[in-house]
Structure 1
Amino acid sequence: MEDFYTALLTAVGLVLVLEGLLYAAAPDSMRQAMQKLLESDPALLRRAGAIAIGIGVFLVWLARG
């Protein structure tokens, strides 16, 4: 169980690092992207979210075998 929490904390940390890099490197672009997201159709956002989940699960499966 300790390995699970280590992996979870590592994953959350990496997400925060990557997202933080985007905001630090290109704050104006991130602001524009958020504005576009606010104006997007909710169905499109759901599909994009489902695709992201699928890709994420596939990558975890690939890495963990």
Structure 2
Amino acid sequence: MIETILLALGLVLILEGLVYALAPSLIEELLKALQSLSIAQRRQIGILVLALGIVLIVMARQFR
């Protein structure tokens, strides 16, 4: 279990690092776009991403 958590965390950090390394100006644009959204819209996006993450985890566990 702990190895799966560490693997997932490592993959997230790799993806985050790639975005910052390859497109730092894109991060600034994304933050500006997020500021234009209401808190409710940001919360809905967060819930949607959370749900998508759970679905991907369940799918990955099915292939195991």
SS class of match (1:40): coil
- Identify the range of structure 1 (6-15 vs 34-43) with the bigger mean alpha-carbon deviation: 34-43
Q: Which runs of 5+ in 2 are unaligned?
A: none
Q: Which runs of 5+ in 1 are unaligned?
A: none
* TM superposition outliers: structure 1 runs of 4+ over 4 Å: none
- 1:60 alignment counterpart: 57
Picking from 5, 24, 31, the partner of 2:28 is 31
- 1:22 alignment counterpart: 19
- 2:41 alignment counterpart: 44
Identity percentage over the alignment?
A: 35
| CA positional deviation for 1:21 | 0.3
TM-score (norm 1): 0.87
- 1:7 alignment counterpart: 4
2:54 counterpart letter in structure 1: V
TM-score (norm 2): 0.88
Q: How many residues align?
A: 62
| CA positional deviation for 1:38 | 2.6
